[in-house]
Amino acid sequence: MTEFTGGNRIALLCCGEAYFPALLAAIAAARREIFLQTYIFADDAIGRAVAAALTEAARRGVKVRVLVDGFGSRDFVSSFGETLRTAGVAALVFRAEIARFPGVFRLRRHRLRRLHRKLVAIDGRVAFVGGINIIDDRNVPAHIGPRLDYSVRIEGPLLVPIWDILRRDWEKVAWVSLKHRDRLPADDLPRPRVAGFQQAAFLLRNNIRHRNTIANAYLEAMRAARVSIVIANAYFFPGLRFRRALTNAARRGIRVTVLLQGKSDHPVLHYAAQTLYGLLLRAGVRIFEYQQGFLHAKVAVIDQKWATVGSFNIDPFSLFLARESNVAVLDGPFSAELGANLNQVIANGAQELTLNALGRRSWITRLTRWLCYGIVYLMTVLGVRGQGQKS
């Protein structure tokens, strides 16, 4: 059962055009500490602006800690490492990629277990949780178009668990990377005041205590649905429990809508997911593919009462392998705002799939789908069997 905390003020931020001004303003106002954790920290206009804001904060005495993933941000050290270090920013890399032959991908189980969270906490006063990396929305392949994604800005008691996971992740990676404990003072624990009236829960996925926390929150909310379920997810390859929850909801009369990528940067996973479309469509689930750009969202709205925003994809890598974080919000106005945004995106930028259209695709396309399904399944088995290794 998801446990919600009251007293929060949570603002929806759609795409980088809303997120990065809010983030940069919060960094500029920082006085004591900044934690930033991200999968991608790109060397583009946005990445350089955020790096400059962090270095300026460090120079005025703010304790700045940046943790990035070694695969998603594999050029981070060469691009920003020296500048940040000189300014006094502490930066660590989770599972740094070390390849004997640059550009050659070697499949190993540990490579699939990534730090996929996008979190920021500042002064125990404000936090950001979502799916938006430190990267320009327009930094995508030219044929895809700008990125569509979401984050939330949080004030209130929910900052306590967010700060706690940032602290614990930092201490663990410091131990592995530097071989010493970078213990943070216990009196640094934030004591945020009540900031609003919204109930929310901070949800984690990792390989120890919270393997199924985010997935179970989704399943709990879908099983309790009475009117509608709207899910927008970038990388969609749900397991059996998730598929059953969607199809059972549709069969009992719930309006179930799923918004997925129409233009993908990972075609193998995209084609593999299409093997599941027929099952969902026959159950009454409506499927739309976003055509106006690069859908990177990981959000959902259920009954205009429950909503979630975060980094969690409904695919094997988020379900079983990656470290993820979401916020679930139990609030009518917030859910209605996100729901209206998604409805507008679907109406103006998405194309609905039908069983007839799916059946008209060539045998080559159908064969490609199943070959991709096999590849994704094999990679999933490889990664899950490696769960017992230290992560």
For residue 270, indicate whether it is catalytic.
Answer: no
Judge whether 265 counts as a catalytic residue.
no
- Mapped onto helix, strand or coil, the DSSP state of residue 182 is coil
Backbone angles phi and psi of 195, in degrees to 5: -120, -15
Active site residue 123: yes
Residue in 137, 303, 315, 331 annotated catalytic: 303
Is 298 an active-site residue?
yes
User: Distance between CA atoms of 295 and 310, rounded to whole angstroms?
Assistant: 14
Q: Which of 116, 263, 270, 305 is labelled catalytic?
A: 116
Closest C-alpha to 316, from 178, 191, 195, 215? 215
CB 222 within 8 A of CB 229: yes
Out of 169, 263, 270, 296, pick the active-site residue. Answer: 296
AA letter at 197 = F
Neighbouring CB atoms inside 10 A of 307's CB total: 30
Q: Which two tokens stand for residue 183?
A: 């213990």
Spatial neighbors of 100 by CB under 8 A, at least 6 apart, are: none
C-alpha distances out from residue 381 to 106, 128, 244, 275, Å: 16, 33, 21, 18
CA distances from 32 to 16, 60, 155, 271 (A): 25, 10, 16, 47
List, in sequence order, the alpha helices (H) in the chain.
Answer: 15-28, 45-59, 76, 82-87, 159-178, 213-223, 240-251, 267-273, 277-283, 316, 332-349, 355-359, 363-385
- Given the residues 298, 305, 315, 331, select the one marked as catalytic: 298
Least Cα distance to 316 among 228, 220, 385, 226 occurs for 385
The conformation of residue 207, written as its DSSP 8-state character, comes to S
Query: Does the annotation count 305 as an active-site position?
Result: no
Active site residue 296: yes
Q: How far is CA 35 from CA 27, 75, 147, 217, 383, in A?
A: 10, 20, 24, 26, 29
Catalytic residues: 116, 118, 123, 296, 298, 303
